[in-house]
Amino acid sequence: MNSSVHILMVEDNHDDIIIMKDVLTKHEMADSVAVVRNGEEAINYVFKKKEFVNVITPDLILLDLNLPRRNGIEVLQDIKGHADFCHLPIIVLTTSSSAEDIASCYKAQANAFITKPADAISLYNTIGDIKSFWFRTAQLPAKHV
């Protein structure tokens, strides 16, 4: 994976953050990941507001749905509704598998909806699939912000 690729993980659950960081480390992706813990921080990060003024614009966002301060749908709508950031690929990575959540996320222009696997091996494989597709197969938009 190109070291200049930057991922923003939006996750409020401390244990899930630890597990994801471990999996990302095993995939040699951990150095390129920033973590925010609620929807408001996610918006501030992407829009470079408050304490996030000097952050790197992410190339990909891993977004949980059930977040404090703004839920994942609101985050999707805000980012995808902004001309400067609507191009950012956003993968909803959540414990939900509800048909309503899936439909709402795609309606809000999520690039993918993935139900988080419950076991470590499946999660490892899922992150490997994300890495392979988004960073080896797909072409990401050029950074312009």
Q: Count the Cβ atoms, other than its own, within 10 Å of residue 33.
A: 19
pLDDT attached to residue 31: 78
H/E run at residue 27: none
pLDDT attached to residue 52: 96
CATH fold of 7-136 reads Rossmann fold (3.40.50)
CA–CA distance, 118 with 63 (Å, rounded to integer):
17
How confident is the chain (145 residues) per 10-residue block, as mean pLDDT? 77 92 87 92 97 93 95 96 94 94 97 93 94 89 66
Q: Cβ neighbours of residue 125 under 8 Å, at least 6 residues apart?
A: 117
**Between β-strands 60-63 and 7-10, what pairing exists: parallel, antiparallel or unpaired?**
parallel
Q: What are phi and psi of 7, to 5 degrees?
A: -115, 135
For residues 65 and 72, is the Cβ–Cβ distance under 8 A? yes
pLDDT attached to residue 28: 86
Q: Cβ neighbours of residue 99 under 8 Å, at least 6 residues apart?
A: none
Listed by start position, the domains of the chain span 7-136
